[in-house]
Amino acid sequence: MNAQKVILDCDPGIDDSLAVMLALSCKEIEVIGITVVCGNVPVEKGAANVCRVLSWMDRTDIPVYKGAEKPLVRPYVNAEDTHGSDGLGETYFPPANGCTVKSDAVSYLKSVLSSGDDVSVIALGPLTNLAQLLLCDESAFCSIKELISMGGSYKSHGNCSPVAEYNYWCDPDAAACVYNAFSENPKLKHKLIHMVGLDVTRKIVLTPNILEYMKTINPDLGKKIEAVTRFYFDFHQKQEGIIGCVLNDPLAVAYFVDRSLCRGFVTHTEIETEGISYGQSLCDAFKIWNRPCNSLVLTEVDEKKFMLLFLSGVLGADLDEASRILDSIMVRRERA
Ligand code: RIB
Ligand code: CA
């Protein structure tokens, strides 16, 4: 099967960076470009971090575009408490050479999506760039072949408020704009947003044992992953009460490659933009509102299958060996 053309829209960000590594390692994906949005860190820092990852993966040929510097309406709030002031766990790796960051992600998205090619978007940050595209060129936006969005939560608790996940909390107006388009725009009648929310991503935990295994398979990348996740481990121990870190964004990429990784349900989802619960994704599982379905909300994931895909794709692990080792070290997680 030919590789599927994909634009990664991201806010690197530690887990975004691991997701970029995974996307570049999967033969099923052709990353034709990367757009950066303000989120975990300001867009300038995020773009510089994308360049760092591209240089680690020897893929500085991939174009990088800077996007939104602030949310559509709300003041911008970063997540440097989670990702470090540099966005890569305060590793302060030197800037990458050979990677040119271009401006205007929305113009890039507009030109590529209007070309007639089948291009999907895997969104790993706030949806500001995509909302701006929708507002300026609805036809280009509706040409997105598939939209996978790491964001939101159905039943799992939030990570920015009791009910809101960061990507949709950082820019709830952008998320609402995108989700509303998928339920109201006739050109999107047969398309859904694949919502890779905290219900499934919280079950994907990089533990110290798996990290140690990574370093034996591929010392160079394993040590880089260890370096950037150290800060993230500390954050998770304090906030999530776990020893390890949640790989939110890499699951969105893995799910794009292998849909059997996750299961969920088709429904109507709305994003709250006001009041105490702003950023919450309300998934109408019992069709109370009887509104048009706009989303496939993922609720179950095969954690081991994900980890095998990541270990073999990014680090080059032998699948049989990795399967035996994961069986000995992975804890099957109950509902998040
Ligand atoms: O809530 C987790 C999401 O917000 C991840 O995409 C993380 O990188 C941040 O963008
Ligand atoms: Ca992200």
Q: Is 279 in the pocket of ligand 1 (CB under 6 A)?
A: no
Ligand 1 nearest-atom number relative to CA 252? 6
Ligand 2 mean position, distance from CA 327 (Å): 29
Ligand 2 mean position, distance from CA 259 (Å): 20
Of 9, 11, 171, 173, catalytic: 11
Q: Is 248 in the pocket of ligand 1 (CB under 6 A)?
A: yes
Ligand 1 mean position, distance from CA 116 (Å): 30
Ligand 1 mean position, distance from CA 166 (Å): 6
End-to-end CA distance of the chain: 35
Q: What are the φ and ψ backbone dihedral angles of 207, each rounded to 5 degrees?
A: -100, 165
Judged against a pLDDT cut of 90, whether residue 1 lies above it is answered with: no
Per the CB < 8 A criterion, the answer to whether 145 and 29 are in contact is no
Ligand 1 mean position, distance from CA 167 (Å): 6
Q: Report residue 169's pLDDT band, with 50, 70 and 90 as the boundaries.
A: very high
- Exposed e or buried b for every residue in 258-269, given b needs 16+ CB within 10 A? eeebbebeebbb
Averaged confidence pLDDT in the chain: 96
**Beta strand 205-206 with 245-246: parallel, antiparallel or unpaired?**
antiparallel
Q: Is 156 in the pocket of ligand 1 (CB under 6 A)?
A: no
Which ligand is nearest to the Cα of residue 156, counting in written order? 1
Judged against a pLDDT cut of 60, whether residue 333 lies above it is answered with: no
Which ligand is nearest to the Cα of residue 82, counting in written order? 1
Of the CA atoms within 13 Å of residue 266, those in its CB half-sphere come to 9
| pLDDT score at 16 | 98
Ligand 1 nearest-atom number relative to CA 160? 1
Q: Is 267 in the pocket of ligand 1 (CB under 6 A)?
A: no
| pLDDT score at 335 | 46
Which of 11, 57, 283 lies closest to 166, judged by CA? 11
Q: Report residue 332's pLDDT band, with 50, 70 and 90 as the boundaries.
A: low
Which of 228, 213, 236, 208 lies closest to 82, judged by CA? 236
| pLDDT score at 330 | 81
SS3 content of the chain, % helix, strand, coil (to 5): 45, 15, 40
Share of the chain above pLDDT 70, in %: 98
Which of 263, 247, 276 lies closest to 195, judged by CA? 263
Cα 191 to chain centroid, rounded: 19
Q: Report residue 156's pLDDT band, with 50, 70 and 90 as the boundaries.
A: very high
In the residue annotation, 9 being an active-site residue is answered as: no
Judged against a pLDDT cut of 60, whether residue 72 lies above it is answered with: yes
Which of 227, 271, 223, 244 lies closest to 127, judged by CA? 271
Judged against a pLDDT cut of 70, whether residue 78 lies above it is answered with: yes
Per the CB < 8 A criterion, the answer to whether 15 and 204 are in contact is no
Residue of 160, 166, 253 to test ligand 1 pocket, by largest number of atoms within 8 Å of CB = 166
DSSP 23-51: HHH-TTEEEEEEEE-SSSS-HHHHHHHHH
Ligand 1 nearest-atom number relative to CA 126? 10
Q: How far apart are CA 246 and CA 236, in angstroms?
A: 8
| pLDDT score at 331 | 64
pLDDT digits (tens, 9 = 90+) for 286-314: 999 999 999 999 999 999 999 999 999 99
**Weakest-pLDDT range from 241-245, 251-255, 256-260, 332-336:** 332-336
Ligand 1 mean position, distance from CA 272 (Å): 18
Q: Is 82 in the pocket of ligand 1 (CB under 6 A)?
A: no
pLDDT digits (tens, 9 = 90+) for 201-237: 999 999 999 999 999 999 999 999 999 999 999 999 9
Q: How far apart are CA 235 and CA 20, in angstroms?
A: 21
Q: Is 158 in the pocket of ligand 1 (CB under 6 A)?
A: no
| pLDDT score at 130 | 98
Residue of 8, 10, 11 to test ligand 1 pocket, by largest number of atoms within 8 Å of CB = 11
Q: Report residue 336's pLDDT band, with 50, 70 and 90 as the boundaries.
A: very low
Q: What are the φ and ψ backbone dihedral angles of 215, each rounded to 5 degrees?
A: -70, -25
Judged against a pLDDT cut of 90, whether residue 98 lies above it is answered with: no
Ligand 1 nearest-atom number relative to CA 12? 8
pLDDT digits (tens, 9 = 90+) for 5-28: 999 999 999 999 999 999 999 999
Residue of 10, 249, 280 to test ligand 1 pocket, by largest number of atoms within 8 Å of CB = 249
- pTM tops 0.95: yes
Which helix or strand (DSSP H or E) is residue 238 part of? helix 219-239
